[in-house]
Amino acid sequence: MENKYSNKYLIETGIGLQDVDGLKNSPYFLSQVDKYINGEISLDELDKIINSYYENKSDEDERTEEADIVSNRIAQIISDDSFTFTVGQLISIHKRLFEGVFSHAGKLRDFNFIKKEWVLDGRSVIYGDYHELQTTLEYDFESERNFKYVGLSIDEIINHLATFASNLWQIHAFQEGNTRTTAVFFIKYLRSLGFDVTNDVFAKNAWYFRNALVRANFRFLTRGIYDDKSYLVLFLRNLLLNEHNILKNRDLRINIDKENDRTSSKESRVIEIMRINPKISIDELASKIGVSSRTIKSITAALIKKNKIKRINGKRYGYWEVI
């Protein structure tokens, strides 16, 4: 049966997702990718070509080999819509992606750890306790399975999906490859809900996706820093609604010692959105950023006071002007 997804979308998504772990593909792989995109070879043939290449090349960097192999496997998995919303499916995806790459492919991690994050100024998210991984996964899947989407606006749906994705990622079911597995599972789940998900948002913004997941799961209350899913909401709006919100990794980075970091970051996002849509309402801004309308009113008031924006022609029929 003919694949309904473009070759370019499939393989570029696979390549782009390597960025979440700082992996880069080999020049040889990229040269073969062009043949696949042009329809000269299939994904299965590309897989054989790459495996043969590494069988005869012992001096290649292991991480480059991982990037090449897993890029192709991601493309293979997302090339069809077969899917079951189960913990077993999540584990199966991890196994398919990393079999022969990691000895623990398809296995839940059996230890706890921390990861220093650039976006958190060297600090780490607190991940799920490995003793409770299976139980926690089953609970989250059951909660999502029973969630009622009926009657929700698209903004409410996207906010909920951001919460589900960030919670799934924070459990960190796997020792390595957790974000890539989460992304592939999430793409297939979104399709099962009726979303198209065939644009280049993952291909071009995979590292932003990971950093947004980090920010959605980090809090440092004594420094005024709270778990913030608004960045993930912006990513999902681009992915699901084909919006063009600006996604910059530097906007997500926090400075623990700078008290106003969180506020200034939200102010910059409000300004960016106003540039794109000057007629946007307070409630629409709140939905896009993932905060309350009261918070947006406070931010816009502060921006007006700082002479960064102004309101033209009043509240009801007016628009925003970025100064």
With respect to residue 249, please indicate whether it lies within any of the assigned structural domains: no
**What's the CATH number where 276 sits?**
1.10.10.10
Q: What contacts 17, CB < 8 A, 6 or more positions away?
A: 71, 74, 179, 180, 183, 184, 202, 203, 206
With respect to residue 85, please indicate whether it lies within any of the assigned structural domains: no
249 vs 267: which has the higher pLDDT: 249
The last residue of one of the domains, among 51, 80, 109, is 80
Least confident of 12-21, 103-112, 221-230: 221-230
Q: Compute the mean pLDDT over every residue in the chain, rounded to the nearest whole number.
A: 91
The last residue of one of the domains, among 19, 54, 80, is 80
Report CA dihedral (18, 21, 25, 26) to the nearest 10 degrees: -160
Identify the bridge partners of residue 321 per DSSP, sorted by sequence position: 310
For residue 316, what pLDDT band results from cuts at 50, 70 and 90? confident
Q: Whose CA is closest to 270, among 242, 243, 297?
A: 297
In a shared domain, residues 26 and 76: yes
With respect to residue 41, please indicate whether it lies within any of the assigned structural domains: yes
> Are 179 and 211 in contact, with CB atoms under 8 Å apart?
no
For residue 262, what pLDDT band results from cuts at 50, 70 and 90? low
pLDDT in tens, 143-163: 999 999 999 999 999 999 999
* Mean of pLDDT values over 242-260: 81
Can you give the pLDDT at residue 264? 63
* Mean of pLDDT values over 11-15: 97
SS3 at position 312: strand
Q: Whose CA is closest to 19, among 271, 247, 240?
A: 247
CA distance 71 to 17: 8
* Mean of pLDDT values over 245-249: 92
With respect to residue 152, please indicate whether it lies within any of the assigned structural domains: yes
With respect to residue 161, please indicate whether it lies within any of the assigned structural domains: yes
Say yes or no to pLDDT of 91 above 90: yes
Can you give the pLDDT at residue 1? 43
For residue 317, what pLDDT band results from cuts at 50, 70 and 90? confident
Can you give the pLDDT at residue 92? 98
In a shared domain, residues 53 and 189: no
In a shared domain, residues 219 and 308: no
CB half-sphere exposure, 297, CA atoms < 13 A: 5
The count of domains in the chain is 3
In a shared domain, residues 105 and 65: no
In a shared domain, residues 17 and 52: yes
In a shared domain, residues 38 and 173: no
In a shared domain, residues 110 and 226: yes
In a shared domain, residues 188 and 317: no
**What's the CATH number where 216 sits?**
1.10.3290.10
> Are 18 and 98 in contact, with CB atoms under 8 Å apart?
no
In a shared domain, residues 306 and 200: no
pLDDT in tens, 282-302: 888 888 787 888 888 889 988
For residue 86, what pLDDT band results from cuts at 50, 70 and 90? very high
* Domain span holding position 73: 1-80
In a shared domain, residues 194 and 317: no
Say yes or no to pLDDT of 60 above 90: no
In a shared domain, residues 73 and 119: no
In a shared domain, residues 60 and 196: no
pLDDT in tens, 158-217: 999 999 999 999 999 999 999 999 999 999 999 999 999 999 999 999 999 999 999 999
* Mean of pLDDT values over 105-132: 95
The last residue of one of the domains, among 61, 80, 99, is 80
